[in-house]
Amino acid sequence: MSVIKRLPRYYRFLGELKKNNITRISSKELSQRMGLTASQIRQDLNCFGGFGQQGYGYNVEQLQNEIGAILGVQNGFKTILFGCGNLGRAIASHMTFEDRGFELVGLFDSNADKMKDLRIKGLSVYPVEDLEVYCKEVEPKVAVLCVPTEAAPEIVERLVKLGITNFWNFSH
């Protein structure tokens, strides 16, 4: 596995360390926790610059920020969620989009009239008919699909025509 494929794993793991109030970690400790060798970790991180200090280890927050910058997680990609049934509501409510470099900006559903009073993280659910106008104004780059599998291809085709080419597919 290449270093590029390991970076998201480092990023997530460092986030867990931060949540547990761990501020500094050595490559040896990191290797034991992640199941990699200390040498591999040092080689991986040296590909992008020297983040650690010999005998002192890595500052967890700083390292996560540096890896986050490499991965582009600070970009805040505007994201819409399509399909506000049980799965869509759960993802919109509980997923920390911001921690992953995304900003949830809009919710859409084919039954939006049934959900007119529903607000998730301060966002209203828009009807599918408003999609074109909304996308021209807001210019989202990512769509999260929480729709039935058979509906997904048509929705994706429509979204691609509106300039959205990045998808998280939770079709079911």
pLDDT tens per residue, range 102-146 = 899 999 999 877 777 888 899 999 999 999 999 999 999 999 999
What would the pLDDT profile of 66-90 be if each residue is shown by its tens digit?
888 888 777 788 999 999 999 999 9
In the predicted model, what is the mean pLDDT of the chain? Answer: 89
Query: What does the buried/exposed string (b/e) look like for 4-35 if buried means 16 or more CB atoms within 10 Å of the residue's CB?
Result: eebbeebbebbbebeeeeeebbbbebbbeeee
Phi/psi at 35 (nearest 5 deg)? 75, 30
Q: Is the pTM of this model over 0.85?
A: no
Single-letter amino acid code for the residue at 107: L
Annotated domain spans of the chain: 3-70, 76-169
Within 10 angstroms of residue 142's Cβ, the number of other Cβ atoms is 21
78's tokens: 């505007």
The yes/no answer on whether domain 3-70 falls in CATH 3.40.190.290 is no
Q: Would you call 119 exposed, middle or buried from its count of C-beta atoms within 10 A (0-12, 13-18, 19+)?
A: exposed
Which residues, other chains included, contact 85 with Cβ-Cβ below 8 Å and sequence gap of 6+? Answer: 109, 146
Please give the CATH number for the structural domain made up of 76-169.
3.40.50.720
> CB neighbours of 112 closer than 8 A, spacing ≥ 6?
84, 125, 126, 127, 128
107 exposed, middle or buried (CB, 10 Å; 0-12, 13-18, 19+)?
buried
With H, G, I as helix, E, B as strand and everything else as coil, classify residue 79.
strand
Which pLDDT score is estimated for 1? Answer: 64
Give the per-residue pLDDT at 49. 78
